[in-house]
Structure 1
Amino acid sequence: MCLVFVCGEDERVVSRQAAPGACPYCGGMIQAMDVQTQWNFCFLPFYSKTKRRYHCTICTRSLVLQ
């Protein structure tokens, strides 16, 4: 007997908006994105979380707040 677990992760951008400040690498504008992450187990929603991520619009680097 063999059991196969089908798990997956779906990411979806909920909203985008301009963030204050400039990119420390190139000086471009920073964009704040709210991303909803949803884990699925056998095609059923198991876990959902919304995160805010920051990206530069010119050099497309992911920025981390400290």
Structure 2
Amino acid sequence: MCWVYVCGEEERELGRQQATGACPHCKGKVDMVDFECKRRFCFLPLCLLVKRKYICTLCARRLVLYS
């Protein structure tokens, strides 16, 4: 019996803009990055998501916003 990895996720960057504020760790500039995320099962697309992430340009940390 052979087990094959049949699930996958692919991310592609759509755009990048400078966000307001500064990084709380290093006080660097923050970029707002939009990603398109495709999830697949056996080469069939399951869903298409658009995600927004905030990333510091100096220390490359991913920042999380709490409301």
Q: Which residue of 1 aligns with 2:45?
A: 45
Q: Which residue of 2 aligns with 1:54?
A: 54
Whether 2:24 is the aligned partner of 1:16: answer no
What secondary structure does 1:49 align onto?
A: strand
8 Å CA contact retained: 1:33, 1:54: yes
Alpha-carbon distance in structure 1 between the residues aligned to 2:34 and 2:55: 11
8 Å CA contact retained: 1:31, 1:57: yes
- Deviation above 3 Å: which 4+ runs of structure 1? 1-5
Sequence identity percentage: 52
Structure 1 unaligned spans of 5+: none
The CA RMSD measured in Å over matched residues stands at 1.6
Structure 2 unaligned spans of 5+: none
* TM-score using structure 2 length: 0.88
Alpha-carbon distance in structure 2 between the residues aligned to 1:3 and 1:61: 36
Matched pairs, number: 66
* TM-score using structure 1 length: 0.89
8 Å CA contact retained: 1:26, 1:59: yes
Q: Which residue of 1 aligns with 2:26?
A: 26
